[in-house]
Structure 1
């Protein structure tokens, strides 16, 4: 799943490609992907792309009537959440006309944005579980997921004191889940929460309400992990981001490999719909964490 660093880089890449272009149309090829109906996607015809940014893991393309710059009372926001298997692909040449909508069986192409010069953007989603979401709204706050977002961990106002307050409010909730909770902190997902906890030398099961020294270590690990990933992704094209992320992960998705810090074998815990990875020596005092799924299989 694309997380804050990748979505930030995708927004920058799209900003450089889309800014100042006029939209011809948005073709929706999977009805399940489009979550809004007013305004209709036909309202995008003739609109100018004024900028592309993000809110947590949400991409936000601001469009205004052609001839208007900056803020406009008639501006719209085309917002995309790529979910677990969505992605963005840029097309230099005029794309082949999109197939007629076919609902949930539409295949990898969920939508196609076509610009006035024939270039465009394909929004795709791999796999059979379709959870990619597209919204066309007058304000980003109309998107429920954005309205619920917690603070951005890379924003200037996200201080260690703010972070400490979030952890204290979470009480005895496991820190892995707190870092991933978009209503508490925006943009961190399964992969970077694994990386942050490894950098902080902290168990994923540690209660969130922790001593001040641990809060400091976790805050520093959060900042360094995300900023390092952001720096590596800076300037990369969308087609290069997945490989960059995968090649620089230290523990996430590296089950069975040696820890790059201590050499211990990286282990994983499996849940119903996700897994996480950690290093026993670095994070749990050498003790493997209970894997509920594996424990059931061994009974």
Structure 2
């Protein structure tokens, strides 16, 4: 699942490629990808792209009269085909929609077995309910300890679930929640109301540093290499059975919310193994 550091790098890369271009053609291959039934992608033809930015895990393509908001969902991504280059079809990640602009073509792809990509044509990004509900973003310069305290203190909910709750913190998913909790040396299943002020401070520092370091590391990487760069940089997520880079103990897998997550028992749970 794309998370804020990779979506940030993607937004910056697209912004450089397409800002100032006009949309010449749109093609909708999978109608279920468009979530605004009363406003079709066809209305975008002729509009000038004024910028691309990230909002949580969403892309906001700002146009002259409206916005195209893109949710990459669990398996969505973007492929860029420069003008004059052939389109290489990926059967594992087919394009569900495309925008042809002056400089080339943006393909919105989805590698899942069900459609997770979402496209909205709206007056403002906050017209998309998921965007309107977003909580504080750890990549924002103004992100502060108070945001962590407000979201965590007094919560009878597991810490990993709070981190992935977009209304609490924008942009964090399964992978970076594992990385943050490992950096903070906190159990993924401890409830928020069990954390001390010191532990909440450690959580804030880990959130800020892990995500900002990742965003800086991804900047400038070609967009077709970003997913692999994320995978390669993980210290515990996806590393079950390998040595923890901090204590050399064994990183363990556990099931969380229908998916697999990872943690270090020595660093995070006092040796307790999670089921």
- TM-score, normalization: structure 2? 0.94
Match of 2:239 in 1: 254
Match of 1:40 in 2: 40
Q: Which runs of 5+ in 1 are unaligned?
A: 65-74, 100-105, 292-299
Alignment pair present for 1:115 and 2:101: yes
Query: Is 1:108–1:125's contact at 8 Å kept on the other side of the alignment?
Result: yes
Name the CA distance, whole Å, in 1 between partners of 2:200 and 2:256.
26
Match of 1:241 in 2: 226
Q: Deviations over 1:168-191 (max 9, x none)?
A: 25x121100000000111000000
Name the CA distance, whole Å, in 2 between partners of 1:135 and 1:25.
17
Note the aligned Cα RMSD (angstroms): 1.9
Q: Secondary structure at the match of 1:262?
A: coil
Q: Tell me how far 1:242 sits from its aligned partner.
A: 1.0
Name the CA distance, whole Å, in 2 between partners of 1:45 and 1:122.
15
Q: Tell me how far 1:271 sits from its aligned partner.
A: 3.9
Name the CA distance, whole Å, in 2 between partners of 1:268 and 1:48.
47
Q: Which runs of 5+ in 2 are unaligned?
A: none
Match of 1:193 in 2: 177
Q: Secondary structure at the match of 1:196?
A: helix
Alignment pair present for 1:31 and 2:16: no
Q: Tell me how far 1:163 sits from its aligned partner.
A: 1.4
Name the CA distance, whole Å, in 1 between partners of 2:257 and 2:62.
37
Q: Tell me how far 1:216 sits from its aligned partner.
A: 0.6
Match of 2:19 in 1: 19
Q: Deviations over 1:63-114 (max 9, x none)?
A: 11xxxxxxxxxx21111111111111110135779x9xxxxxx972111111
Query: Is 2:136–2:147's contact at 8 Å kept on the other side of the alignment?
Result: no
Match of 1:177 in 2: 161
- Pairing partner for 2:67 from 77, 82, 100: 77
Query: Is 1:151–1:185's contact at 8 Å kept on the other side of the alignment?
Result: yes
Question: Which range moved further: 36-45 or 142-151?
Answer: 36-45
Match of 1:143 in 2: 128
Match of 1:287 in 2: 272
Name the CA distance, whole Å, in 2 between partners of 1:151 and 1:253.
26
Query: Is 1:94–1:120's contact at 8 Å kept on the other side of the alignment?
Result: no
**Larger Rg computed on CA atoms:** 1
Match of 2:9 in 1: 9
CA 1:141–1:95: 2 relative to 1, 3 Å: farther
Name the CA distance, whole Å, in 1 between partners of 2:259 and 2:118.
20
Question: Which range moved further: 49-58 or 39-48?
Answer: 39-48
Q: Secondary structure at the match of 1:47?
A: coil
Query: Is 2:36–2:120's contact at 8 Å kept on the other side of the alignment?
Result: yes
Q: Tell me how far 1:155 sits from its aligned partner.
A: 1.9
Match of 1:53 in 2: 53
Query: Is 1:8–1:54's contact at 8 Å kept on the other side of the alignment?
Result: yes
Dislocated runs of 4+, deviation >6 Å = none
